[in-house]
Structure 1
Amino acid sequence: MSWPRSQLLEIGDQTWCPAWLHQHEQFSLTRLWNLKIPGWSRGSLATQACAVVQEHLKDLSSYTILDVCAGAGGPTPVLESEINKKLESEAKEPIQFILSDLFPHREEWSRISKKKQNVTYIETPVDARAAPRVAAKGKKECRIFNICFHHFGDKDAAGILRNTIESADAFIIFEITAREVWTCLCSPLVFFWAFYVTLIWYWNSPIHLLFTFVLPIAPLAIWVDGLISCLRTRTTKEVRALLDQPGLDLSKWTFHSGQKTVQFPFITLYYYIGVKAE
Structure 2
Amino acid sequence: MQAGLTATWTTHIPLIQKSSPAELVANLLRTHLAPNLHSHVFIDFCAGAGGPTPSIERHLNRPSTPKTSNNNNTARKELTNGNSNPIAKDEPLHFVLTDLHPHTDLWAKAVAQADAPGAISYVAEPVDAARVPRELIRRYRGPEGKKKVFRLFNLAFHHFDDGLARRILRDTVDGGGEGFGIFELQDRGIAGFVACCFLGIGIMVMAPYYALLWGAPLSLVLTYVVPVLPAVLVFDGWMSCLRTRTPDEIEALLRTCGAEGGEKEIAKWEVKSGSEKFMWPVGSVDWVICVKRES
Per the normalisation by structure 2, the TM-score is: 0.81
Are 1:138 and 2:146 an aligned pair?
yes
Moved more, 226-235 or 201-210: 201-210
After superposition, the Cα gap between the structure-2 partners of 1:65 and 1:125, relative to the gap in structure 1 and judged at 3 Å, is same
Structure 1 stretches of 5 or more lacking a match?
1-24
After superposition, the Cα gap between the structure-2 partners of 1:197 and 1:105, relative to the gap in structure 1 and judged at 3 Å, is farther
Cα deviation, 1:36-82, whole Å, max 9, x if unaligned, reads: 12123121101111111011113111110001101111121222122
1:223 paired residue among 234, 241, 260: 234
Distance 2:269 2:188 in 1: 27
Contact 1:28 1:197 in 2 (8 A): no
Distance 2:285 2:95 in 1: 21
What is the identity percentage for the equivalent residue pairs of Structure 1 and Structure 2?
Answer: 34
Aligned residues: 254
Cα deviation, 1:236-263, whole Å, max 9, x if unaligned, reads: 1110110112344213211100111100
1:66 aligned partner: 43
After superposition, the Cα gap between the structure-2 partners of 1:205 and 1:27, relative to the gap in structure 1 and judged at 3 Å, is closer
Shift of the alpha carbon at 1:177? 0.5
Q: RMSD in angstroms over aligned alpha carbons?
A: 2.0
Contact 1:34 1:44 in 2 (8 A): yes
1:19 aligned partner: none
Distance 2:141 2:95 in 1: 10
Distance 2:216 2:15 in 1: 32
Distance 2:132 2:248 in 1: 24
Distance 2:267 2:20 in 1: 35
1:55 aligned partner: 31
Which letter maps to 2:53? T
Moved more, 68-77 or 120-129: 68-77
Shift of the alpha carbon at 1:208? 2.2
Structure 2 stretches of 5 or more lacking a match?
67-87
Contact 2:186 2:195 in 1 (8 A): no
Which letter maps to 2:24? Q
2:8 aligned partner: 32
1:264 paired residue among 244, 265, 280: 280
Per the normalisation by structure 1, the TM-score is: 0.86
Distance 2:206 2:106 in 1: 17
Cα deviation, 1:80-101, whole Å, max 9, x if unaligned, reads: 1221234999953211100001
Which letter maps to 1:267? G
